[in-house]
Structure 1
Amino acid sequence: MPNWGSLPSITGEKVLGVLTPYRVEVVQGNVLTKEMVARVKPGMPKAQVRDLLGSPLLTDVFHESRWDYPFTIRRQGAPLQQRLVVAIFDGDNLKSLDVPADLPTEIDFVASVNTFKPSGKQPKLELSEAERSALPPPKRSAEAAPTAAAEGPAPGRTYPPLDAKLGAGS
């Protein structure tokens, strides 16, 4: 009979001293980057701020002039990321935007959450001007070409008038 008292128990991050349990990634809030926040200027209406930054996660009925954009990401093996961007309004126009100093750029944010680390050269995502000019011209679409229906029926085809058929059956 096995001695169950001698088996290690759950301690810290390990189960039975060997296994690490899977922890679900928790992402909450609005991802905002320096580029997104740079487009927002004081004096913009609420609708325009919502278009640029997205809907705020928190709006308070008692403080309608404040929108909170919190962001939290908790991942296994990575440090906790927490940020809070606060938009303050004066009536319908943006008065100020409180942005944390550690707000990442889009490239920095993607690098911080990317679990796939390619071992080689990064793929090229855009064509150069020389490569664009070397591409064949686009083919004309069917909409641009004249259609036979616009020119009338094909030669040799004739169709009886609709009213002639209706009159014969009555």
Structure 2
Amino acid sequence: MPQRINASGPLTAAALLGLASLAGCASYFQSTDSILGVITPYRVEIVQGNVVTKEQLAQVKPGMSRVQVRDILGSPLVTDIFHADRWDYVFTIKRQGTEPQERRIVALFDGEQLKSVEAPEVPSEKEFVASITRSKDLPRGNPPALELTEDQRKALPPPVAAPDTAASAAQPSGPNRPYPPLEAAP
């Protein structure tokens, strides 16, 4: 009768070692944004709500109507029928490569007139754009000029005068093609 070798001890130890290493890998992958520093998984960019900047808040004054406030700040993200005199402007953004942001602005009304605005420190438009711009999205080298110099403006061709609309309305436009009659002749 052949003898059986009991290999359960070494197999069990190997299985436990493998499970421990997998558990370690799983916790490593969850705690970092990249796998082994090379591969970064895709994360969906989530943007919700209204971006409200310093410039917009500076335009909002107590005593304005609801329509005026909506024209400046946009439609509120949250309106509640139980709190009809309160509009909540909530903004959240989660973008890979930047810090997540969340801001809450509350507009309180007395009837149809704005009573007050409760807002944390909000960024200006330039500060907001800078806060959501990733370093890899920035242009390398010198950024392009956004305005023409006076010499560049002088070098531009003069604008072409717009055609007279009354004369162009009298002239038919489009291709000139003969079409067959719609009804058959008897």
**Structure 2 counterpart of 1:121, from 117, 138, 142:** 142
Q: Of residues 98, 101, 104 in structure 2, which corresponds to 1:84? A: 104
1:75 — aligned with what?
95
* Aligned with residue 109 of structure 1, among 91, 111, 128: 128
Q: Deviations over 1:88-138 (max 9, x none)?
A: 11111111111212x111001101111212222222223356654554332
Inter-partner Cα distance in structure 2 for 1:118 and 1:38? 31
After TM superposition, the structure 1 = structure 2 runs for residues 13-24 of structure 1, keeping only pairs within 5 Å, are: 13-14=31-32, 18=36, 20-24=40-44
The reply on whether 1:136 has 2:157 as its aligned counterpart is yes
- 92-101 or 60-69: bigger deviation: 92-101
SS of the aligned residue for 2:88 comes to strand
Query: Alignment RMSD, CA only?
Result: 2.9
Three-state SS of the structure 1 residue aligned to 2:90 is: strand
> Aligned with 1:65: secondary structure?
strand
1:31 partnered with 2:51: yes
Deviations 1:22-74 (A, max 9, x none): 32222211111101111111111111111111100000101111100011112
Higher helix share: 2
Percent identity over the alignment is 53
In structure 2, the gaps of 5 or more residues are 1-13, 172-186
CA contact (8 A) 1:10 1:16 kept: no
CA distance in 2, matches of 1:36, 1:13: 38
- Please report the TM-score for the alignment, with normalisation by the length of structure 2: 0.67
Flag the 1:26–1:93 CA change in 2: closer, same or farther, 3 A. Answer: same
Counterparts of 1:130 and 1:44, CA distance in 2? 45
Question: For this pair of structures, how many residues does the alignment match?
Answer: 148
